[in-house]
């Protein structure tokens, strides 16, 4: 699933490619892929893309005329910027034509866990997937992060995946952040001492910055806006490394299931404390 670095990579690319461009038309191949505002899609024709915002793993294109176009990529979705002449592959559910140059944006999603939504700007504050998100990892202050952990008995890995607490992390970057912070993924969130919590916050932000600089991680379906692959998967230290030696200590990296999610860690670098 595209996580914060992948979605932020797409956001930055969109800013370079489509800001100031006018929407010439939108084609939807599956109406059930539109989570809200199906009847308003035609109203976006002629609107200008003014800014692109990311919140957690969700993108919002803010348009003229007080419209917002929401994109969520789900588990396997992509947003690609291509020429209109290119044949659209199967599972291309959204095509957004832009004026001048024969360019269009396409949202491709074989499993259809993603969606788009068309909203008035004033309705964005009532769109639950947007408003229910927690703090962005780059915005959460040290004291706020410690407060979020306080009283939480759930495993710290499960806490990091809870989009209502910290928005944008998924399996990849939760595992990598916990490894760098030397925190066992099964430890209760509330058990982290202040110094450990701040180290986790610091390493989480560092991992995300490095991943954004590398264009994200391509482990399954993710591609950047131009169709090229991310590079951060080559820098993963524990994610999907079960059975291999830890690059820090040589111990065998292990895999466990927490909250129904596959979790990777080093038992020596991330000891489970009582």
pLDDT of residue 138: 97
- State the catalytic residue, choosing from 22, 261, 267, 268: 261
Which tokens go with 63?
């348009």
Q: Give 94's contacts (C-beta < 8 A, 6+ positions apart).
A: 26, 27, 28, 29, 33, 105, 106, 107, 116
- State the catalytic residue, choosing from 55, 57, 78, 165: 57
3 is an active site residue: yes
Q: How many CB atoms lie within 10 A of CB 117?
A: 22
271 is an active site residue: no
2 is an active site residue: yes
Which tokens go with 77?
């979705």
Q: How many CB atoms lie within 10 A of CB 243?
A: 8
240 is an active site residue: no
- State the catalytic residue, choosing from 2, 5, 155, 185: 2
pLDDT of residue 101: 75
pLDDT of residue 1: 77
- Structural fold of domain 4-131: N-terminal domain of MutM-like DNA repair proteins (3.20.190)
Which among 236, 204, 245 has a CA at the least distance from the CA of 217?
Answer: 236
Sheet strands side by side (includes 23-28): 23-28, 92-98, 103-108, 78-83
Judge residue 274's burial from the number of C-beta atoms within 10 Å of its C-beta, 0-12 exposed, 13-18 middle, 19 or more buried. Answer: exposed
Which pLDDT tens digits describe the chain residue by residue (274 residues)? Answer: 799 999 999 999 999 999 999 999 999 999 999 999 999 999 999 999 999 999 999 999 999 999 999 999 999 999 999 999 999 999 999 999 999 879 999 999 999 999 999 999 999 999 999 999 999 999 999 999 999 999 999 999 999 999 999 999 999 999 999 999 999 999 999 999 999 999 999 999 999 999 999 999 999 889 999 999 999 999 999 999 999 999 999 999 999 999 899 999 999 999 997 5
- State the catalytic residue, choosing from 3, 6, 104, 203: 3
What is the DSSP-derived secondary structure letter of residue 223? -
Phi and psi at residue 136, to the nearest 5°: -75, 140
**What class is the 142-265 domain?**
mainly alpha
What is the DSSP-derived secondary structure letter of residue 251? P
- Per residue in 105-163, pLDDT (tens digit) is 999 999 999 999 999 999 999 999 999 999 999 999 999 999 999 999 999 999 999 99
Domain boundaries, the chain: 4-131, 142-265
Q: What Cα–Cα distance (Å) separates residue 60 from each residue in 123, 124, 258?
A: 13, 9, 31
pLDDT of residue 274: 53
């Amino acid at each position: 699933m595209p996580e914060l670095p992948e979605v932020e990579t797409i956001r930055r690319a969109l800013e370079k490619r489509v800001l100031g461009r006018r929407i010439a038309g939108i084609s939807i191949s599956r109406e059930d892929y539109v989570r809200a505002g199906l009847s308003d899609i035609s109203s976006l024709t002629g609107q200008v893309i003014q800014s692109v915002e990311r919140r957690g793993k969700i993108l919002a294109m803010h348009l003229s005329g007080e419209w917002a176009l929401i994109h969520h990529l789900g588990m396997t979705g992509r947003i690609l910027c291509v020429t209109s002449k290119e044949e659209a592959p199967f599972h291309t559910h959204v095509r957004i034509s832009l004026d001048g140059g024969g360019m269009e944006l396409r949202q491709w999603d074989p499993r259809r866990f993603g969606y788009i939504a068309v909203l008035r700007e004033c309705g964005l504050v009532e769109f639950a997937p947007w408003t229910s998100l927690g703090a962005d990892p780059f915005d959460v202050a040290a004291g706020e992060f410690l407060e979020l952990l306080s009283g939480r008995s759930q495993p710290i890995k499960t806490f990091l995946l809870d989009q209502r607490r910290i928005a944008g992390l998924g399996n990849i970057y939760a595992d990598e952040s916990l490894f760098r912070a030397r925190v066992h993924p099964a430890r209760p969130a509330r058990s982290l001492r202040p110094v450990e919590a701040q180290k986790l916050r610091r390493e989480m932000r560092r991992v995300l910055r490095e991943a954004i600089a590398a264009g994200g991680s391509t482990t399954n379906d993710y591609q950047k806006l131009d169709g090229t692959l991310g590079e951060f998967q080559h820098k993963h230290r524990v994610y999907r490394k079960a059975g291999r030696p830890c690059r820090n200590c040589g111990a065998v990296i292990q895999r466990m299931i927490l909250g129904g999610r596959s979790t990777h860690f080093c038992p020596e670098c991330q000891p489970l404390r009582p």
